A and B are shown apart, each in its own frame.
Chain A
Amino acid sequence: MINFFNTYQSLLDHILVNMLLAASQYVVLRAGVFSLGSAGFAALGAYCTALLTTKLGWNPWLSVVVGMMLGTLVSALLALPLSRLRGVFQAVATLAFVQIVLSATQNWVALTNGPMGVNSIPHAAGTASLLLIVVAVVVFLVMMGRYSFGRALDVIREDETVAVSLGISVPYYHRIAFVLSGALAGLSGGLHAISSYSITPQDYGFGLLVAALAMVVLGGRTTVWGALVGALVLTSLPEVFRVFADYRAVVQGLLLMLVIIYLPRGLADTVIAHLKDRRLRRTAAPPVIAAPVGVLTAQTRSRS
């Protein structure tokens, strides 16, 4: 057991960090904000943390907090114009943000060392502390999802007109979801920096953006469990199937296509919806009220 743990410890750390990234992508998608900016905020958090610890000698954990605050601040600024946009426009605007951050990390050599990246960052984050942070974040997200905030996000995602008619301010909730996503991505980036010794600009480019999206699509984007499952599967898949290491991108791409076409709600969400359905059928009384139980009603009933 100890042996197993030692072999896979770095993989485990990686999974935990990616879970935070997936959670960041999940928060925006749940609110119906099509943001691809998580990779950019993760880059900000990671570079902030790495530079503060290596160049100024700050305490790594303090630098992570500052990195997370930087992610929050920048996402709060971006949220103002972004909450006016919808759909594809949000996606492309956040894509542009990721590219701007990427070219800054690549070309501002005096600050970021350019393509060489930042090396010899102190390895301060152990598996236990990462696990603790992930648990805290998940508890926070689950609690928040259960109350009016989560319901407002669900309504906005499902039908914006209904949300407006219920008196829910769409730009307000879009902004909050976006800032939360920026904070989580900044945290994930900072933790990545202090758990992996070195970071390079390539770690935070288009590839990470696709990976974050893929995790949430694979797992499911209406519950936080979906993000966790997606991060777990997509991060460990290449390690478990070493045989396919050469064809890792092919497998990942095929998986994305198959899941979005045949399992559009994602792995975890499909399972959860199925369980809820069964529980409802068992508790729900005789087939007199056999009206088709829609997904939305099923969710709201089981929550109340």
Chain B
Amino acid sequence: MLMQQLLNGIVVGSVYGLFALGFTLLFGVNHIMNMAHGSVFMWGAFAGLFAVLQFDAPIYVALLIGMLAGGAVSVLLDLVAFRPLRRRGGPEFSAIVSSIGADLVLISIAQKLSNTAVMRFPFDAFPVIFFSFMGMRVQLLQLVIMALVVIMVVGLVWYLYRTSFGLRIRSVAYAEQTSRLLGINPGPVNMQVFFISGALAGMAGVLIGLVFNSVHFAMGEPLLLRAFVIIIIGGLGSIPGALIAGMVIGIVQTLSVAYISSGVAEAIVFLALFVVIVLKPTGLFGQPTAAMRVQRA
């Protein structure tokens, strides 16, 4: 029983990690908190579901469509909500407010489209196959999710640290003015980062929609709040931090839902956040520079 819950926690936690990865990447490069990241996630899930329901798309196509939709919404956010502010050099505070506004708009459009209904993937969208492993029931879906997360993370790390695109992203993250002097145009770099983080969120959206078998317009908000916890505990802008903290939060949440109650689970998670932020604001894996980069509101 405990092992089973641990496994479920790790699966959910790795999807959380995937979502938080995009969130932390945006913070690391652009130094913004994208409060609309939760609705990017939700729109990814909507697009995947739409592909399955309307076109009978197989699930891997739905995943791709979810990723593309998430990336597109995220790039649109950059163009509409963040770029005008960046051009003016507005403080961090205004980016947060502007993305809250964008979040409200995206959520209410989705609410209109879905008529406030909770939608589900068809039962046979993903083959339900169980394996028995050391007394645990392991679903095929869970294995696929873990494999996907590993592939995405390895791919992202390869992209960031082994390609020239990644080099540009890292140099803009480190010092935007200096990279401008060196001939790197930050515009396309930012757009890439927004696309990548949106695609990760869109994929997480389809996966969470499959795991819990429900897709609805308000699914982004709880995940966004959890992502806050994850990236703070893991350290702002830290990739391994986001993944490990995502797993931890997933496990803690699953265990406390199973053994105590779901309300207590929320309280425990946010209490942990509060303790970490007060005692060690840079998180477990964050670098002190990340904290220094944070400007005044």
Residues of A within 8 A of B (CB): 29, 32-34, 81, 84-93, 95-97, 99-100, 103-104, 106-107, 157, 160, 206, 210, 213-214, 217, 246-250, 252-257, 260-261, 264
Contacts and interface: CB of A to CB of B under 8 A. Distances in A.
A40 to B, nearest CB: 11
B262 to A, nearest CB: 8
Given A89-B277, A104-B267, A253-B101, A260 B296 contact: no
B225 A99 contact: yes
B263 A256 contact: no
Residue in B84, B261, B267 with the greatest tally of chain A CB atoms within 10 Å: B267
Chain A to chain B: the 4 pairs with minimum beta-carbon distance, closest first: A107-B263, A253-B104, A256-B101, A34-B297
A47 B90 CA distance: 38
B228 interface: yes
B297 to A, nearest CB: 3
A83 B224 CA distance: 25
Given A34-B296, A210-B100, 12 more contacts: A34-B297, A89-B232, A89-B277, A92-B232, A96-B270, A103-B270, A213-B100, A249-B107, A250-B109, A253-B104, A260-B97, A261-B88
B105 A29 contact: no
A206 B271 CA distance: 17
Interface size on B, as a range, is: 35 or more
B85 interface: yes
Nearest to B229: A96
A255 B101 contact: yes
Contacts, number: 132
8 contacts: A85-B277, A89-B281, A89-B294, A95-B225, A95-B228, A213-B100, A250-B104, A253-B103
A71 to B, nearest CB: 18
Given A252-B104, A256-B100, A264-B90, A85 B281 contact: yes
A84 B98 CA distance: 26
Interface of B: 33, 80-81, 84-85, 88, 90, 92-94, 96-98, 100-105, 107-109, 111-112, 221, 225, 228-229, 232, 236, 261, 263-264, 266-267, 270-271, 273-274, 277-278, 281, 291, 294-297
A32 B105 contact: no
A99 B294 contact: no
A91 B101 CA distance: 17
A256 B295 contact: no
A87 B273 contact: no
Contacts of B228: 92, 95-96
Nearest to B231: A92
A100 B108 CA distance: 26
A88 B291 CA distance: 9
Contacts of B33: 88, 91
A104 B236 CA distance: 28
Contact of A249 (B90, B104, B232, B261): B104
B105 A253 contact: yes
A84 B109 CA distance: 40
Contacts of B111: 249
Contacts of B273: 92-93, 96
B98 A91 contact: no
Contacts of B270: 96-97, 99-100, 103
Contacts of B105: 249-250, 253-254, 257
B277 A253 contact: no
Given A93-B278, A99-B225, A256-B101, A88 B94 contact: no
